[in-house]
């Protein structure tokens, strides 16, 4: 991809974000765009950085280990957004700044331990399977509070909010309902745990549904294809 075509795509997404935010009276400055660079070469990430992108998302631990060793400009934020197996957590300390996908006490323990061994604390989100689709990772909405509380008590985890992947459907009403449910759940959990509302993160919305997510209160959207182009695998 050339620099100009990347800048154009980025511009278009930022414009669409602004329109979605304005439609519900939100400031687009309150929404963070995470560019999901998974399966894309480091050259594309550099291009994205030159165009102004500062948040990068990856979903495989080994890819994180390899890419963020080679691509580590200052002032980027590195997001881990994939399903995490406990034997892969060791690749992440020092290579990511936030993990979106805590979905069990076991993985919370592993992250706490491995980051602690490096003298690090790490921001985490609890992944919620809001649609109940069996193909999806994440805890059910009724378990989110207890897992969030569990994370909050771990010395090396900083619980920041919730993450979800929207339902796999073209029905915008269903997508919107799921995102709305997530927003209520996140606010409720944040309040019950006494967290500062301004620091609360709600990670939802991808290439196909980020505008709905913004309208329903996402603080972070994760956009891959619309920004970096189709993935080959």
- Which neighbouring-strand residues pair with 14? none
CB of 3 to ligand PLP, least distance (A): 21
Sequence-separated (6 or more) residues with CB below 8 Å from residue 134:
none
Piece in contact with ligand PLP (CB under 6 A), picked from 3-11, 111-119, 148-156, 205-213:
205-213
The CA distance from 122 to 55, in Å, is: 16
Name which position in 201, 206, 213, 214 contacts ligand PLP (CB under 6 A).
206
DSSP 128: B
Q: Does the protein bind ligand PLP through residue 165 (CB under 6 A)?
A: yes
CB of 12 to ligand PLP, least distance (A): 14
Residue with smaller CB distance to ligand PLP, 35 or 190: 35
CB of 168 to ligand PLP, least distance (A): 11
Q: Does the protein bind ligand PLP through residue 31 (CB under 6 A)?
A: no
Residue with smaller CB distance to ligand PLP, 28 or 226: 226
Residue with nearest beta carbon to ligand PLP: 224
Are the C-beta atoms of residues 160 and 171 closer than 8 Å to each other?
no
Q: In angstroms, what CA-CA distances link 165 with 79, 115, 128, 196, 202?
A: 15, 26, 8, 24, 11
- 116 class by beta-carbon count within 10 Å (0-12 exposed, 13-18 middle, 19+ buried): middle
Identify residues 66-125 at the interface with ligand PLP (CB under 6 A): 81-82
Name which position in 36, 204, 214, 218 contacts ligand PLP (CB under 6 A).
36
- 23 class by beta-carbon count within 10 Å (0-12 exposed, 13-18 middle, 19+ buried): exposed
Residue with smaller CB distance to ligand PLP, 182 or 223: 223
Q: Does the protein bind ligand PLP through residue 166 (CB under 6 A)?
A: no
* Helix residue ranges, H only, the chain: 3-23, 42-51, 61-70, 105-117, 141-153, 172-192, 210-215, 225-228
Q: Does the protein bind ligand PLP through residue 32 (CB under 6 A)?
A: no
CB of 37 to ligand PLP, least distance (A): 10
Q: Which residues make up the interface to ligand PLP (CB under 6 A)?
A: 36, 38, 59, 81-82, 165, 206-208, 222-226
């Amino acid at each position: 991809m050339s620099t100009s075509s990347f800048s154009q795509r980025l511009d278009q997404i930022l414009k669409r974000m602004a329109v979605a935010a304005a439609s519900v009276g939100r400031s687009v400055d309150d929404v963070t765009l995470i560019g999901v660079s998974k399966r894309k070469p480091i050259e594309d990430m550099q291009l994205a950085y030159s165009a102004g992108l500062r948040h990068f998302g990856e979903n495989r631990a080994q890819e994180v280990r390899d890419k963020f060793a080679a691509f580590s400009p200052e002032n980027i934020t590195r997001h881990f957004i994939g399903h995490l197996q406990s034997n892969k957590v060791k690749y992440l300390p020092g290579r990511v700044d936030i993990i979106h996908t805590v979905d069990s006490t076991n993985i919370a323990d592993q992250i706490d331990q491995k980051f602690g061994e490096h003298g690090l604390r790490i921001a985490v989100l609890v992944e919620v399977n809001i649609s109940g689709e069996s193909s999806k990772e994440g805890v059910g909405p009724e378990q989110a509070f207890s897992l969030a509380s569990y994370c909050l008590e771990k010395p090396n985890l900083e619980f920041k909010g919730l993450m979800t992947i929207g339902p796999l459907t073209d029905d915008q009403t269903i997508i919107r309902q799921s995102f709305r449910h997530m927003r209520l759940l996140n606010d409720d959990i944040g309040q019950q745990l006494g967290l500062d509302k301004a620091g609360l993160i709600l990670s939802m919305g991808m290439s196909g549904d980020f505008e709905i997510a913004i309208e329903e209160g996402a603080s972070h959207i994760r956009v891959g294809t619309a920004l970096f182009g189709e993935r080959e695998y």
